[in-house]
């Protein structure tokens, strides 16, 4: 088979069984778009802004485990994609981003729509390639998918100059079955000696904790995590990125940890004597003040990336390996071990953990006559039976979503944790809905975030992706306002927008259904009505309490046992 460069790129996507290509055309990729026109296997999704393409493909990847694929043109198309690429990079999401480039003869001459894409993206990709020769194209595509999806996943950029895709130059096409890269060999199996040490430590623990992270989701380790945790009967906490890998409704789950984690999760971490971190990277939102993080604990850390280990916190038993492999090996060892666990200590530990739980740190005022954002998320959880895919933007609404939608399965909670990219939620919801057309998909957002990628409402019209937008409209950049309230004596500098669009009309202008909900009593019926409209995108504008804050909160530079809690007058303890 003789193919042009443009056809080789498209054929390689077909060979990789890519379902959707999220993109936006332009001069440098016209040959490529012509090749797309001539085939049916890969469905192109035309977004309204390249950032939306990357977020949608990223969320497709997060919700399926398959790589997300993007095509953008050179110059402004490429730079528009960068925020999305950085978002995927910080959360370790497998993606292949193909960017057009000016022709090889003019590279470096400040040609029309030229930017050094390989240079610009170097710090925010797992790897990138500039393909200067058509003969390297197929193999580079193979390498891109291989690197993106193996080891610690991440985005890979393939920059393709226009002349390399010239339709008049054809070469024989062979897509490599596999690639071997002498410089890249991800470690899969953990070190047996270390695993044994870890198991000994775990079985002798008196106040143990399981601290699970996004790596369990990325590595498909949910089943192993559950078996491991059930075997040991230890309390389980999760990072924002790990939510769903361990069922939130299970008795052993003590909620999210970190800055807006639960009282019980953070106190348990603080007092714990043995902590096993599984696919979690001791992020600063989790640790708070490093010197005071878990002062009594010995740490075991399972991670596929050696550089995640002992990066911020020195650990005692590092285990480099794929989460499923390592957990399986641990499970076997635990089952065959003759160490007798200190049941008395463990019972005492659980009763302490339950005491912290009894504080009900997430309680809020349920009698308010203004809609509380927590109430909306709780009702959403009930109306969707806890089974929806939830995407989110960034801000207070994101934290309320994480705290009040109890994810029982992995890959259902889709949010930008590492970069915290406002604008992620809506395009992400579209990517998820395309992947899971028969499931409920809701985007929990805020009136500021939603405006950052609002143009994708048009994409939703074109591809009939009937997601539900849950706009927790507090007329503030709530998260910013909260910090200003606590740390800047309520000087709300620029955290308020003087004009906010009429979201109902806006939704209608795009051909969708818009609703505005003002009263707590209307929340439930409105949600039911919206979710009954299976074929429609419904934009639900909930006017929520302007002054609501997210609690608990560990303020910057504070440690886990030093949490700011909602004042008792603010909540009605049930």
Ligand X SMILES: Cc1cc2nc3c(=O)[nH]c(=O)nc-3n(C[C@H](O)[C@H](O)[C@H](O)COP(=O)(O)OP(=O)(O)OC[C@H]3O[C@@H](n4cnc5c(N)ncnc54)[C@H](O)[C@@H]3O)c2cc1C
Ligand Y SMILES: Cc1ncc(C[n+]2csc(CCOP(=O)(O)OP(=O)(O)O)c2C)c(N)n1
Task: Using CB under 6 A, list all residues that contact ligand Y.
Answer: 393-397, 420-422, 446-449, 472, 474, 476-480
215 belongs to the binding site for ligand X (CB under 6 A): yes
Please state the closest distance from residue 319 (CB atom) to other proteins, in A.
15
Is 548 an active-site residue?
no
Q: Which of 465, 155, 199, 194 is nearest to 321 (CA)?
A: 194
DSSP one-letter string for 529-570: HHHH-TTS-EEEEEEB-TT---SSB--TT--TT--B---GGG
Exposed/middle/buried for 351, CB within 10 Å: 0-12, 13-18, 19+? exposed
Q: Which of 399, 477, 479, 553 is catalytic?
A: 479
Instruction: List CB contacts of 540: < 8 A, sequence separation 6 or more.
Output: 468, 469, 470, 471, 515, 517, 526, 527, 530
Structure tokens at 538: 């419904």
- Contact characters 314-343, other proteins, x per CB under 8 A: x-----------------------------
Draw the binding track, 314-353, toward ligand X (x: CB under 6 A; -: no contact): --------xx------------------------------
Instruction: For residue 161, count CB atoms less than 10 angstroms from its CB and return exposed for 0-12, middle for 13-18, buried for 19 or more.
Output: buried
330, 536 Cβ separation under 8 angstroms: no
The answer to whether the beta carbons of residues 392 and 425 sit under 8 Å apart is yes
Structure tokens at 331: 């499970």
Burial of 524 (0-12, 13-18, 19+ CB in 10 A): middle
Residue 286 in the binding site for ligand X (CB under 6 A): yes
CB 500 within 8 A of CB 543: no
Q: Nearest Cα to 235, choosing from 262, 259, 264?
A: 264
Nearer of residues 5 and 395 to ligand Y, judged by Cβ? 395
Can 479 be counted among the known catalytic residues? yes
Give min distance, CB of 257 to ligand Y, in A. Answer: 20
Q: Which does 478 bind (CB under 5 to 8 A by kind): ligand X, Mg ion, other proteins, none?
A: Mg ion
314 binds, among other proteins, ligand Y, Mg ion, none (CB under 5 to 8 A by kind): other proteins
Of 87 and 99, nearer to ligand X (C-beta) is: 87
Please identify which residue in 192, 307, 354, 547 interacts with other proteins, judged by CB under 8 A: 307
Distance from C-alpha of 407 to C-alpha of 276, rounded to nearest angstrom:
21
Say whether residue 214 binds ligand X (CB under 6 A): yes
C-alpha distances out from residue 32 to 56, 176, 192, 406, Å: 20, 21, 48, 43
Contact of residue 122 among other proteins, ligand X, Mg ion, none (CB under 5-8 Å per partner type): other proteins
Report d(CA 62, CA 368) in Å as an integer. Answer: 36
Verify whether residue 50 is a known catalytic residue.
Answer: yes
Binder of residue 517, out of Mg ion, other proteins, ligand X, none (CB less than 5 to 8 A by kind): none
The binder of 447, among ligand X, other proteins, ligand Y, none, by C-beta within 5 to 8 A per type, is ligand Y
Binding to other proteins (CB under 8 A) within 99-118 occurs at 118
Indicate the pairing of strand 236-238 with strand 208-212.
Answer: parallel
- Which is catalytic among the residues 126, 142, 162, 468? 162
Among 63, 83, 87, 92, binds ligand X (CB under 6 A): 92
Instruction: Give me the least distance between CB of 150 and ligand X, in Å please.
Output: 10
| Window contacting other proteins (CB under 8 A); options: 88-96, 172-180, 300-308, 407-415 | 300-308
Cβ closer to other proteins: 307 or 547? 307
Q: Which of 406, 408, 349 is nearest to 382 (CA)?
A: 406
Does residue 113 have an active-site annotation?
Answer: yes
Q: What kind and span of H or E run contains 22?
A: strand 20-23
330 or 517: CB nearest Mg ion: 517
Orientation angle between helical segments 323-336 and 222-232, nearest 10 degrees: 30
Q: Pick the catalytic residue: 112, 181, 382, 497?
A: 112
Distances from the Cα of 313 to the Cα of 117, 283, 289, 318, 433, angstroms: 34, 10, 11, 11, 38
Q: Per CB under 8 A, does 122 bind other proteins?
A: yes
Ramachandran assignment for 274, one of left (phi > 0), alpha (psi -120 to 50 degrees), beta (any other): beta
Radius of gyration of the chain (CA): 24
Q: Which of the listed partners (Mg ion, ligand X, ligand Y, none) does 260 bind, with a CB threshold of 5 to 8 Å by partner kind?
A: ligand X
For residues 249 and 228, give the distance between their C-alpha atoms in angstroms, rounded to a whole number.
17
The reply on whether position 101 binds Mg ion by CB under 5 A is no
478 is an interface residue for Mg ion by CB under 5 A: yes
- Check residue 40 and report its DSSP letter: S
Q: Which does 239 bind (CB under 5 to 8 A by kind): ligand X, ligand Y, other proteins, none?
A: ligand X
Closer residue to ligand Y (CB): 67 or 446:
446
Q: Does 559 bind ligand X (CB under 6 A)?
A: no
- Listing DSSP states for 383-396 in one string gives HTTT-SEEEE-SSH
Q: Which of 279, 373, 410, 520 binds ligand X (CB under 6 A)?
A: 279
Stretch touching ligand X by CB under 6 A, among 160-168, 415-423, 424-432, 515-523: 415-423
- The least CB distance from residue 301 to other proteins, in Å, is 13
Number of H helices, E strands in the chain: 20, 20
Taking CB under 6 A as the rule, does residue 394 contact ligand X? yes
474: contact with Mg ion by CB under 5 A: yes
Binding mask 168-207 for ligand X (x = CB under 6 A): ----------------------------------------
For the chain, the farthest-separated pair of C-alpha atoms sits apart, in whole angstroms, at: 77
- Distance, in Å, from the CA atom of 399 to the CA atom of 8, rounded to the nearest integer, reads 44
Contact at 8 Å (CB) between 122 and 116? no
Shortest Å distance, C-beta 308 to ligand X:
3
DSSP string over 459-513: HHHHHT---EEEEEE-SS-HHHHHHHHHHSTT--TT-S-S----HHHHHHHTT-E
Binding of residue 147 to other proteins (CB under 8 A): yes
Contacted entry of Mg ion, other proteins, ligand X, none for residue 420, CB cut-off 5 to 8 Å set by kind: ligand X
Partner whose binding site includes residue 154, from Mg ion, ligand X, ligand Y, none (CB under 5 to 8 Å by kind)? none
Interface with ligand X includes 425 (CB under 6 A)?
Answer: no
Binding site for other proteins (CB under 8 A): 118-119, 122-123, 126-127, 130, 147, 181-184, 305-307, 310-311, 314
User: Given the rule CB under 5 A, which residues bind Mg ion?
Assistant: 446-447, 474, 478
- Active-site residue list: 50, 112-113, 162, 479
């Amino acid at each position: 088979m003789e193919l042009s460069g443009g056809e080789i790129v498209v054929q390689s996507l077909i060979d990789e069984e890519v379902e959707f290509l999220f993109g936006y055309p332009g001069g440098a990729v016209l040959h490529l778009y012509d090749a797309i026109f001539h085939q049916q296997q890969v469905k192109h999704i035309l977004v309204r802004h390249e950032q939306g393409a990357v977020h949608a493909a990223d969320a497709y990847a997060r919700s399926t485990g398959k790589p997300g694929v993007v095509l953008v043109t050179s110059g402004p198309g490429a730079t528009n994609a960068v925020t999305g690429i950085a978002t995927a990079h910080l959360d370790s999401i497998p993606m292949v981003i193909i960017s057009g480039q000016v022709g090889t003869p003019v590279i470096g001459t400040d040609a029309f729509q030229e930017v050094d894409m390989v240079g610009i993206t170097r710090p925010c990709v797992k790897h990138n390639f500039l393909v200067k020769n058509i003969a390297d194209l197929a193999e580079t595509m193979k390498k891109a998918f291989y690197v993106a999806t193996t080891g610690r996943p991440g985005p890979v950029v393939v920059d393709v100059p226009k002349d390399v895709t010239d339709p008049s130059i054809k070469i024989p096409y062979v897509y490599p079955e596999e690639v071997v890269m002498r410089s890249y060999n991800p470690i899969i199996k953990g070190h047996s000696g270390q695993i044994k040490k870890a198991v000994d430590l775990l079985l002798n623990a008196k106040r143990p904790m399981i601290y699970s992270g996004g790596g369990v989701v990325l590595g498909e380790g949910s089943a192993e995590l559950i078996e491991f945790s059930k075997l040991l009967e230890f309390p389980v906490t999760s990072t924002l990125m790990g939510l769903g890998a361990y069922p939130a409704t299970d008795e052993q789950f003590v909620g999210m940890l970190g800055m807006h984690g639960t009282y019980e999760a953070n106190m348990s971490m603080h007092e714990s004597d043995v902590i096993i971190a599984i696919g979690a990277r001791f992020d600063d939102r989790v640790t708070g003040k490093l010197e005071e993080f878990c002062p009594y604990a010995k740490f075991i850390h399972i991670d596929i990336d050696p550089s995640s280990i002992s990066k911020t916190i020195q650990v005692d038993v590092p285990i480099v390996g794929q989460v499923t492999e390592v957990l399986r090996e641990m499970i076997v060892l635990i089952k065959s071990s003759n160490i007798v666990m200190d049941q008395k200590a463990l019972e005492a530990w659980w009763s302490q953990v339950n005491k912290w739980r009894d504080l009900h740190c997430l309680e809020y005022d349920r009698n308010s006559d203004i809609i509380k954002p927590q109430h909306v998320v709780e009702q959403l959880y009930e109306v969707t039976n806890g089974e929806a895919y939830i995407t989110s933007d960034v801000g207070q609404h994101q934290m309320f979503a994480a705290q009040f939608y109890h994810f029982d399965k992995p890959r259902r909670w889709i949010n930008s944790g590492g970069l915290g990219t406002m604008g992620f939620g809506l395009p992400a919801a579209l990517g998820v809905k395309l992947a899971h057309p028969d499931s409920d998909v809701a985007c929990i957002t805020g009136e500021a975030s939603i405006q950052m990628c609002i143009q994708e409402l048009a994409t939703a019209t074109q591809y009939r992706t009937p997601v539900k937008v849950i706009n927790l409209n507090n007329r503030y950049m709530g998260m910013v306002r909260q910090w200003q309230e606590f740390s800047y004596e309520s000087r709300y500098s620029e955290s308020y927008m003087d004009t906010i669009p009429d979201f109902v009309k806006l939704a209608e202008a795009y051909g969708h259904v818009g609703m505005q909900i003002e009263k707590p009593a209307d929340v439930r019926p409105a949600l039911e009505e919206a979710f009954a409209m299976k074929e429609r995108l419904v934009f639900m504008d909930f006017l929520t309490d302007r002054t609501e804050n997210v609690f608990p909160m560990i303020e910057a530079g504070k440690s886990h046992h030093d949490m700011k809690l909602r004042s008792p007058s603010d909540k009605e303890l049930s």
